[in-house]
Structure 1
Amino acid sequence: PLLTDVRLPNGVKPLHYNVTLAPYIYGTNVSEFYFTGSMQVRLSINESTSNIKLHSDRIPLTAADIRVFDSKSNKNYTITRCMYDEERQWYSIDLSEPLTANSTDVVIGIARFKAPLQSDLRGLYVSSYIENGTTKYLATSQLQPTDARKTFPCFDEPAFKATFDISIVRKKSFKSISNMPSKRVTKVSSSDWFKEMSDSDQVEKEDFETTPIMSTYILAFIVSQFEYIEDTDAQLRKYRTWMRPELLSLSEFSLVAQKNFTQFYEAYFGVPFPLKKMDQAAVPDFNAGAMENWGLIIYRESLLAFDSRKDRSSVYQRIGSVMSHEFAHMWFGNLVTPEWWDDLWLNEGFASFVENIGLNNLRPDWNMDSQFVATKQMAALEVDSMGSSHPIYVEVHNPNQISEIFDTITYRKGATVLRMLHGFVGDEVFRKGVGNYLRQNSYGNTFHTALYDSLTRQYSESTNKSLDVGSVMDRWIKQMGYPVLNCSVSTAARRLTLTQNHFLSDPSQVPSYPSDYNYMWIIPVTMGTKQNLSSGTPEDVSGFVNWMNEKEQSFELDNSADDWYLLNLRSSGFYRVNYDLDNWKRLIDQLISNNTVFSPQDRARLLDDSFALASAGYLDYSIPLNMTRYLKSETHYVPWSSALSKIGYLHSMLHRQSPEYGSLSAYMRDLLEGAFNDVGLDNKDTDTHLTKLKREIIVWSACLYRLPSCKNAAKEKFRGFVGLNDIAFIHPEIRRRVFCEGVSTLLLNEWDDFFDFTKTVSHPGTQNDMFRGLACSNDPLILNRYLEFAMNESKVRKQDMAYVFASVAANPKGLEIVWNYLRTNWNTKYAELVEFKERHRGNFGSASRAMDQTLEKVRVNIDWMKTKLPRVRTWLIENGQAI
């Protein structure tokens, strides 16, 4: 079992660190790379104690390496024992006499420490890239959540904030960057730091300015031969983007955007950005998408380098979203930080919601709020419908548990619930309340209750009404899942009765967490009718809110008995709605006759809800399948994204049952033909951003369901690309599908040539598309070969291995190879999974919940094949598709 008593005692806290790091990344033998360092930390002794606990991981120390002394008197404290606790990852240092309470003069000093420079993408680690045939090495860092302790001994918890003086020792020909601006660069003796070097080698120590009070996990360091572009704003703050020289020409958007985001969030929150400079850097090997280190945000290359000629619009948007997310963290997470990781959602959920507001300011034509349904909400609803889900706020202790909650619930459900909060309090209350929260808690640590209190006060001040934000939000934050509202209408009285139930994709599942609220929610139900929505759904739905506080509650309807009603306007709430059957049919009729009465969010929500309800057994499959007929007149990206995602589940289930799959494909070809003819394979000068996003998913799906005009056009494009050997011949939006169609017919030697060509492509987005395309082969031998390549770091980067496996598994022929013929042995393989989990219980670490969710998905899929497939088959037959 995982230890839970791993928190540092509060009696000793850090005030200020002096840290020097010297990574050795010179030469060609990576196994010999290492880093050395020194550290001093001045302490605040809050209560008298003769014991100090200090985090350290993978850095060997003895009592002789550690000095504890009084900085005023220079008195040394004798260390009687220094014990390392491997599970808790700390040194426990016993002193011969107690430290005096309220002292701020005690210092821990470590004159020199040394550790191997690993390549596991954690702590301070080594990365590399090829430049003109030569391998170039760099040292970079990723310290969140608990890996600062892998870089230097420290008090590695978010509430143990301090100031830092960072110094980096490096060769003169390299550059170093950290959180703060450079203060000075001095020449030092190379042999003092690197035993392999002589004093003739030119080595420098770069000192950086003192940081603000901050947590250890947002420190950052890079030593590299990167280059940068820069800009300055009216406050004389410097903005820089760093990349390897070959990619630097792709950094223009990032420079413009980071300046925009900084200035926007300053104005939106009403809180100035406190640093003098802002750096962004793209590193070749990076496990996360990006990391919000204060003053030095680090990204993987594909999420910062943007080429308007080679990157898809979805990549453009993804880069913008990630950047906006990280800049929101400069305030929410860095300036004000949760006390502990169980409030991680305050960091990540908030940034995931506000990123849309920031990006919408930069690119209002992208319509980010309508896209929120597709990019965040749908995934959160799907994952949170599982019995193995977890509350947004969940107690965590061990580092394995902390890593486990960096997931869809924390990010996407957190964002969706905050969007719902923003909707029912209104933008003014939200913005001012958050600004007050940030100002009152700057450079400190908080619990989520502080945010609730600030919003409650602001709501009262702005509206002269009372609303206890905490009592509403606790039910969404502290219990897993969400409600489905079952509707019934009293025709005579025109009363709508709503009953809330915990929605589970498998209603027989028992939730993995008990609820103090008995799985009841306080729900801001937004409601409209054919009469009051005749001009469309309004942008601001706060005036349509009806509070539901009970298990069952009735509301008055202001429409006639034959007209439809609609709940969850603009998909503003985190719940599903199961209408009475007559209303479902009226909504479908409205979609078919004129779908623009509903907002794109409404149309996407109706599709998503109806398919999810049918899959869980709440609704007959004829409802969502009949609803898809209206798509022939749908022109907006967001509803198409919702529909193709839900139909994609049927596709993934039915490709094992060829008759039904063939029938579904025939139906989809008919549904998609008009949309495909509309978007085509070629970009037009008049295309909007949303049109390009739609082209990407329509072309992918039309070819997936074997629409002849799509497949023929895609293969023709691939032949043109091969003939010209020019990637620019294929527009970015269709590149993945064109590569997929082209690769599907390649012989082994041709596939090898294409793989080798992929290795020569420096542009990250193009390379990712080629990786995906390589998995589309129809030859099992080639797919096996690709998986072998993925396990070989000289062929495929470690960070891309999972992507290759997922891409092969997405190929029906590859699924057998990746998962041992699971398609023909559902029950046997499920039993093997259960046995495997039980045999290795306690050894899964941060993968434990993922394992539970995998088992649950398999179980739900087995049940779907037994109970839902017959109804889908019947609908296909009834609608003219041969089985």
Structure 2
Amino acid sequence: MGKGFFISKAVGIAAIIVGAGALATIIALSVVYSQEKAKNNDNVLPTDGGTTSKPPVTTTAPSNEPWDKYRLPKSLVPDHYNVTLWPRLKQNLTTGLFIFTGQSTVEFVCAEETDLILIHSNKLNYTKRENNHLASLTSLGGVKAPSIKSSWLQQVTQYLVLQLDGKLMKDHRYHLHTDFTGELADDLGGFYRSEYMEDGVKKVVATTQMQPTDARKAFPCFDEPAMKAIFHITLIHDLGTVALSNGHDVQKTVFQPTEKMSTYLLAFIVSDFSFINNTIDGVLIRIFARTPAIAAGQGDYALNKTGPILKFFEKYYNSSYPLPKSDQIALPDFNAGAMENWGLITYRETALLYDETFSSNSNKQRIATIIAHELAHMWFGNLVTLRWWNDLWLNEGFASYVEYLGAHEAEPEWNVKDLIVLSDVHRVFAVDALASSHPLSSKEEDIQKPAQISELFDAISYSKGASVLRMLSDFLTEKVFTMGLRTYLAEFAFGNAGYTDLWSHLQMAVDATGTDIPETVSNIMNTWVLQMGFPVVTVNTSTGIISQKHFLLDPDSEVTTPSIYKCVDGLSYFPPLRTINLYVFIISGSDWVLANINVVGYYRVNYDQGNWERLLGVLSTNHVAIPVINRAQLVDDAFNLARAKIISTVLALRTTKYLNKEREYMPWESAVGNLDFFYLMFDRSEVYGPMQDYLRNQVTPLFTHYKSLTDNWKNVPVGHMDQYNQVNAISLACRTGLRECQNLTNQWFNQWMETKLNPIHPNLRSTVYCNAIAAGGAKEWEFAWSQFKNASIAIEADKLRYALACTKQPWLLNRYLEYTLDPNMIRKQDATSTIVYIANNVIGQSLAWDFVRARWSYIFTQYGGGSFSFSNLVNGVTERFSTEYELQQLKQFKEDNAEVGFGSGTLAVDQSIERTIANIKWIAENKQNVLDWFKAEEKP
């Protein structure tokens, strides 16, 4: 029995307007297509005399028909496509639309007799062909093809449906022909439009983002990762523009056939970009970007590092790069960070372009690691591809792990491999400690709809995947891990596989090398893959007993996700006992124990009170006796164990007392990250003042250290980590009200305003801009806004966009929020992150929440449908929630927008509710103790 629902008058009117708008778009596209066809009767996209019209669409409730299911039947298997696309880079003056026209022929094999053809199609309008249908079918090999009886578009499940008057014959080949029109919209998905200004002229780029389910917006296709095929792509484009696709160009617009590949890895681009190139061992490497960016040398770093990283992965995989060229292109508008299209990787400008005048060392690291991440996919993901999206974690988790290995090859002096602990392990612990988390691998039947697929692109898939694979590599040894990886890639090259196939090959490597493991790889790893969460291991040094249990941030929360594994007794939750990696020291006759050295295990560690006291003693007297990564671990574990009521919050706070002697980046970054939670919980309460006093005293020695090290801020620290920690020193010193720091940042910013020459080093710009804008008023904000609008370097624009959210003026923040709805003010790709920046500001948090609630339908329609990062918006605007009133607002928000939906942010809504409940409890139980502790620490 279906559930009824009602809508308010306002929502009803809005729905009618949206529906009318959609209909108008379809009609307009049809008009434009007809106009273009009339003007180009001799063009290379013949329409066979057909007409484009709005095809019939289904409006009835879903049934059990094949076209109402989201997965394709197994009856048809594509072999290759011939696709010709013609994007119009000029706006039609009558309709105001940008469009593309296309023609596709797909050759497929009939695997099972059927009288039905289902092929994915979304937001495409078709030119009617013979017998007034939306496609035509021909047979190969002398067998007559059945006629098309009826054809229509099934919008919900995104199919072009063709019912036949007879059956396709098993093992016979057929051609399906279509002519179609689509909008080259600015929605950042499928075949879309990116715009930018150059020399006062608006330029348009036609580009693509297919992952996970948007190839069907560019042309009709069997849009599932296991439906691999060869693609023959032709692009028609204006004189003076450059066409790119996965294959190497043979002529101006015709590309060599691709390798056998999945639809989500396709890419085609038309632009007037420039490029730089070199060739390494026969592989052509090119970096494309806006002409001024290439001329300014902003692609040089990427070009110089791509070759070494590519060669590293060839050695790591023991497999030659499988394509003749590797193109990488920086796009002004791009929703993700980058996309691993095979042979044509697309990036945000900030993820590929480096300019030493504007780019910080963190920008440089991001470029190196993202290039490594995407190049890792050329084999793991592209050559061998997941069968279905429920195994996405293996694709993205693997690339997120080995990106550190590739970046280390490019920049060996950075020690970047250590940073996986902060950036991935600790990051995902925060999510995986919630009862609303989810396992790495989902059941295939649970991941069907495009929104469900998009929802998987989260911290669990990326960061937990990276963490457990790093643990596995350490446990098996890198030699065994890479041996299994190489045979896995060799067996499934140009095909599809699942994570169990990788376990089988790793087991083969274990057996071949005689590696001693007490369980099979599959049995060991399934405990990590098939259940959510992770354990906390308690090491009791007084009894010698080691125990473990499921770690939950809120121990009272109810875990409803079923699991066949019970982490209650013994150590069955994770690999055998030796992987706990105990590290025992004897210092001055006092034994102390430290577990999980370098945090290679995916678990937290607790100790008996006596060992905690001994560890705190070592931190206070000889902190360097503990490895630097484990100093970061002790702080992070302690604060999170306290949030879970396993140890006291005061004990966690005591781990920060030694920081006035700490000069290393990782422990400081761990502390700052955990203290951010205290700011979120207490920056609206009486705890804030004493907390500020304590932290100011702790960070002042670090601030002074960097002042001395840099000769009063004239120089840049030499080490990569030191450059990072200098930012921490200034950021926290200014945040806690250290007058010398605030004067310094204001002085630099005022000098920039007065002289128009920026004296601030790129490493420090984000934090200096933020603090100066926070301390200033409208004058400072307007100056920064003008610099943002005029910035020709995307990395500099990003720093300013972040800092503009730091103002303490509510009216400026409200105006800034309104700007996020206008792509001429804030690019669509940046809208949601800008709202989150504003919500991070204690003044802007309630403004951002009210803004999102009031405009949810519009925001979701414009930015949320297929956005991988949409969960960040939901989490970002609710992160500070810690009152019963805010909890009720959040629950009401979920209820009010159930019909609109939350897309890839659906799980984030539940996580936000769970987190808010935990925050309310934590404050009730800890506020007074925390206040008393901070006050006591400030007494002489």
3-state SS, counterpart of residue 489 of structure 1: coil
Q: Which runs of 5+ in 1 are unaligned?
A: 186-205, 535-558
Find 1:162's aligned residue among 206, 224, 229. 229
What amino acid is the match of 1:830?
Answer: L
After TM superposition, give the deviation of residue 478 of structure 1 in Å.
0.7
1:37 aligns with 2:64: no
Check conservation: 2:440, 2:532, Cα contact below 8 A.
yes
Change over 3 Å in CA distance of 1:683–1:108 after alignment to 2: farther
SS of residue matched to 2:125: coil
The residue aligned with 2:701 is 674
Q: In the alignment, residue 243 of structure 1 is paired with which amino acid?
A: A
Residue 515 (structure 1) aligned with residue 584 (structure 2): no
Q: Is 1:831 aligned to residue 888 of structure 2? A: yes
1:87-236 superposed matches below 5 A: 87-103=156-172, 105-110=173-178, 112-185=179-252, 206-234=253-281, 236=282
* RMSD of aligned alpha carbons: 2.0
1:612 match = 640
Distance 1:165 1:518 in 2: 51
1:730-809 residue pairs with structure 2 within 5 A? 730-809=760-839
Counterpart in 2 of 1:473? 525
Contact 1:360 1:368 in 2 (8 A): yes
Q: Deviation digits for residues 771-820 of structure 1, max 9, x if unmatched? A: 12212222211221211222222111111112221222222211232234
Alignment of 1:568-583 (within 5 A): 568-583=596-611
Matched residues in 1 for 2:477 and 2:622: separation? 30
| Matched residue, 1:860 | 918
Q: Secondary structure at the match of 1:819?
A: helix
> Given that residues 148 and 156 in structure 1 are in contact (C-alpha distance below 8 angstroms), is that contact kept between their aligned partners in structure 2?
yes
* Cα distance between partner residues in 2 of 1:814 and 1:464: 56
Tell me which of 276, 280, 292 is aligned to 2:340: 292
Question: Does the 8 Å contact 1:165/1:208 carry over to 2?
Answer: yes
Aligned pair count reads: 827
1:397-476 alignment runs, 5 A limit? 397-466=448-517, 467-476=519-528
Question: Residues 28 and 590 (structure 1 numbering): CA distance in 2 closer, same or farther, change over 3 Å?
Answer: farther
AA of the residue aligned to 1:786? Y
Cα separation, 1, equivalents of 2:82 and 2:681: 57
Structure 2 equivalent of residue 12 of structure 1: 76
2:725 is the counterpart of 1:694: yes
Q: Which amino acid is the alignment partner of residue 485 of structure 1?
A: V
Query: Which residue, 353, 359, 367 being the options, matches 2:415?
Result: 367
The percent of aligned pairs where both chains have the same amino acid is 35
Q: Is the 8 A contact 1:389 1:512 kept in 2?
A: no
Q: Which amino acid aligns with 1:526?
A: I
The equivalent of 1:527 in structure 2 is 581
Instruction: Give TM-score scaled by structure 2 length.
Output: 0.85
Aligned to 1:631: 659
Q: Does structure 1 residue 306 correspond to structure 2 residue 364? A: no
Please report how far the alpha carbon of residue 76 of structure 1 lies from its aligned counterpart in structure 2 after TM superposition.
4.3
Paired position in structure 1 for 2:930 = 872
- Deviations along 1:503-554, whole A, 9 cap, x unmatched? 110011112411111245123443334448x8xxxxxxxxxxxxxxxxxxxx
Query: 1:343–1:393: 8 Å Cα contact kept in structure 2?
Result: yes
Q: 1:210 to 1:529 in 2, by over 3 A?
A: closer
In structure 2, the residue corresponding to 1:775 is in which secondary structure? Answer: helix
Distance in 1, matches of 2:360 and 2:560, equals 40
CA distance in structure 1 between the aligned counterparts of 2:783 and 2:725, rounded to whole angstroms: 32
* 2: CA distance, partners of 1:709 / 1:386: 41
* Corresponding residue number in structure 1 for 2:373: 325
Structure 2 match to 1:484: 536
3-state SS of 1:265 partner: helix
Single out whichever of 810-819 and 27-36 deviates more from structure 2. Answer: 27-36
Query: Could you tell me how far 1:764 is from its partner in structure 2?
Result: 1.2
Give the partner amino acid of 1:92. Answer: V
Please give the secondary structure, in 2, of the residue aligned with 1:445.
strand
Are 2:134 and 2:152, in contact at CA under 8 Å, matched by a contact in 1?
no
Contact 2:116 2:163 in 1 (8 A): yes
Q: Alpha-carbon deviation of 1:429?
A: 0.6
Name whichever of 387-396 and 403-412 sits farther off. Answer: 387-396
Query: Among residues 406, 412, 434, which one is paired with 1:386 in the alignment?
Result: 434
- Report the 3-state secondary structure (helix = DSSP H, G, I; strand = E; otherwise coil) of the residue aligned with 2:610: helix
Alpha-carbon separation, structure 1, partners of 2:716 and 2:697: 28
One-letter amino acid of the counterpart of residue 572, structure 1: V
2:541, 2:593 within 8 Å by CA — same for their partners in 1?
Answer: no
Q: Normalising by the residue count of structure 1, what TM-score does the alignment of the two structures yield?
A: 0.91
Q: Equivalents in 2 of 1:142, 1:778: separation in Å? A: 37
819-828 vs 849-858, greater mean Cα deviation: 819-828
Give the strand-richer structure, 1 or 2.
1
Question: Does structure 1 residue 50 correspond to structure 2 residue 115?
Answer: yes
* Aligned AA (2:495): G
Secondary structure at the aligned position of 1:177 is classed as strand
1:329 to partner: Cα distance: 0.5
- Rounded to whole Å, the distance in 1 between the matches of 2:199 and 2:924 is 57
Contact 2:636 2:674 in 1 (8 A): yes
Distance 1:825 1:47, change over 3 A: closer
- Provide the secondary structure at the position in 2 that maps to 1:183: coil
Q: Deviations over 1:378-421 (max 9, x none)?
A: 11111100111111111311111000010000000110011110
Shift of 1:750: 4.8
Q: Point out the more displaced range, 77-86 or 470-479.
A: 77-86
Give how far 1:589 is off.
1.0
**3-state SS of 2:228 partner:** coil
Question: Quick check: 807-816 or 145-154, which moved more?
Answer: 807-816
Instruction: Verify the 8 A CA contact 2:881 2:887 in the aligned structure 1.
Output: no
Mapped to 1, the partners of 2:342 and 2:270 lie a distance apart of 17
Deviation per CA, 1:596-643: give whole Å up to 9, x if none.
Answer: 222221111111000001111111112221111121222221111111
Provide the rounded CA distance (Å) in 1 between the counterparts of 2:902 and 2:91: 37
Paired residue secondary structure (1:171): coil
Q: CA deviation at 1:74?
A: 7.9
After superposition, the C-alpha distances for 1:307-335 in whole angstroms (9 at most, x for unaligned) are 12211111111111111100000011000
The reply on whether 1:241 has 2:268 as its aligned counterpart is no
1:79 aligns with 2:134: no
Decide whether the 8 Å contact of 1:527 with 1:565 is kept in 2: no
The answer to whether the 8 A contact 2:882-2:920 is kept is no
Taking a change above 3 Å as real, the CA distance of residues 710 and 183 of structure 1, as seen in their structure-2 partners, is same
**1:645–1:824 CA distance, 2 compared to 1 (3 A):** closer
Q: Which residue of 1 aligns with 2:737?
A: 706
User: One-letter code of the match for 2:738?
Assistant: L
Residue 72 of structure 1 and its aligned partner are, at CA, apart by: 3.5
Corresponding letter in the other structure for 1:459: V
Cα gap change, 1:683/1:438 in structure 2, threshold over 3 Å: closer, same or farther? farther
